[in-house]
């Protein structure tokens, strides 16, 4: 019924996307805290130190949402994606403190991209897979922007999922996917090592290597040059704008993950057309 009734399908995709965006906000805010807590515990065990009396951070699913300022529990009608933020005028109903603009932005982006992908691919396995990847990329981008961290707990399951899907040649053939995963990691790893050898500094994090490997697993090695070029161009433009317009210190690192994520998403949707257009213009194709 959904497949033949496009308005109903897109309306449902909108609701699912907005709800997914609400959950992604929880992931972006809580997952890094839980990871840091677990890492501290592991360090204490390795060093045989007395465990710090720290309260575990909230989990991702069962702990109710609350105001980070006054700890007031957020009621269900105050947690409706986008709408509640607008009704509350971006402020907590308890303490009146401002609610981050991140919440409606992430919800809107997730909702819009979910609807676009379902309209683009239809209610198909590839469409659902594309939505799953997109949600993961939004979470990774949000975490990297806030924490300069790309968690393995998100990247690795998506990498294995890409390889698994491509056993059925969903986005590329399995051979290209395996080579893409290896080439994606090794290409940035080599650049990282050369940059560190020449400058004595680390130009990027290992999470960027894994993220590009994940894209290789999904779309094959053929898409990697396009992803690297797009992400580098956008990252360079944004970096220059931050330095010129906002006076950002050039020595302050800028997370590269969101640019890789955006480039990978573009490659997923329009990669074949972009490559075909480039080959046509260059006269190679």
Output the tens digit of pLDDT for each of the chain's 285 residues: 666 688 889 999 999 999 999 999 999 999 999 999 888 888 888 887 766 656 778 888 888 888 877 878 888 888 899 999 999 888 888 888 888 899 999 999 999 999 999 999 999 999 999 999 999 999 999 999 999 999 999 999 999 999 999 999 999 999 999 999 999 999 999 988 998 888 888 778 889 999 999 999 999 999 999 999 999 888 887 777 777 776 666 666 678 899 999 999 999 999 989 888 877 776 665
Q: Phi then psi for 66, rounded to 5 degrees?
A: -150, 160
Distance from C-alpha of 173 to C-alpha of 94, rounded to nearest angstrom: 54
Distance from C-alpha of 133 to C-alpha of 31, rounded to nearest angstrom: 18
Residue 71 is predicted with a pLDDT of 79
Distance from C-alpha of 167 to C-alpha of 28, rounded to nearest angstrom: 31
- The residue among 16, 22, 30 whose CA lies nearest residue 106 is 22
Residue 248 is predicted with a pLDDT of 61
Which segments of 70-205 does DSSP mark as H helices, in order? Answer: 83-87, 102-121, 125-147, 152-165, 174-199
Residue 172 is predicted with a pLDDT of 96
Residue 110 is predicted with a pLDDT of 98
Residue 5 is predicted with a pLDDT of 81
Q: Which residues pair with 66 in a beta bridge?
A: 73
Q: What does the block give as tokens for 57? A: 């951070």
- The residue among 123, 101, 130 whose CA lies nearest residue 268 is 130
Residue 58 is predicted with a pLDDT of 85
Q: How close are the terminal C-alpha atoms of the chain, in Å?
A: 42
Cβ–Cβ under 8 Å, residues 140 and 211: yes
Residue 13 is predicted with a pLDDT of 95
Residue 171 is predicted with a pLDDT of 96
Residue 277 is predicted with a pLDDT of 83
Q: Phi then psi for 160, rounded to 5 degrees?
A: -65, -35
Cβ–Cβ under 8 Å, residues 257 and 224: no
């Amino acid at each position: 019924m959904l497949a033949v009734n496009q308005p109903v399908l897109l309306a449902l995709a909108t609701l699912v996307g907005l709800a997914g965006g609400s959950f992604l906000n929880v992931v972006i805010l809580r997952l890094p805290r839980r990871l840091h807590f677990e890492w501290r515990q592991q360090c204490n065990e390795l060093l045989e130190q007395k465990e710090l009396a720290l309260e575990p951070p909230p989990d991702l699913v069962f702990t109710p949402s609350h105001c980070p300022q006054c700890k007031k529990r957020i009621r269900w009608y105050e947690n409706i994606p986008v709408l509640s933020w607008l009704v509350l005028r971006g402020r907590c109903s308890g303490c009146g403190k401002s609610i981050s603009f991140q919440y409606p932005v992430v919800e809107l982006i997730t909702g819009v991209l979910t609807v676009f992908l379902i309209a683009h691919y239809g209610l198909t396995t590839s469409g659902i897979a594309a939505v799953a990847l997109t949600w993961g990329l939004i979470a990774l981008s949000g975490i990297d922007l806030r924490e300069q961290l790309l968690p393995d707990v998100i990247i690795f399951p998506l990498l294995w999922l890409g390889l698994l899907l491509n056993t059925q040649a969903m986005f590329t053939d399995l051979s290209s996917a395996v080579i893409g995963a290896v080439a994606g990691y090794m290409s940035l790893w080599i650049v990282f090592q050369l940059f560190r050898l020449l400058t004595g500094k680390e130009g990027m994090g290992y999470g960027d290597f894994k993220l590009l490997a994940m894209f290789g697993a999904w779309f094959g090695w053929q898409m990697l040059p396009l992803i690297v070029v797009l992400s580098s161009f956008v990252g360079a433009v944004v970096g220059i704008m931050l330095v010129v317009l906002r006076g950002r210190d050039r020595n302050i690192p800028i997370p590269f993950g969101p640019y890789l994520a955006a480039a990978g998403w573009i490659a997923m949707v329009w990669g074949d057309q972009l490559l075909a257009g480039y080959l046509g213009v260059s006269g190679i194709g």
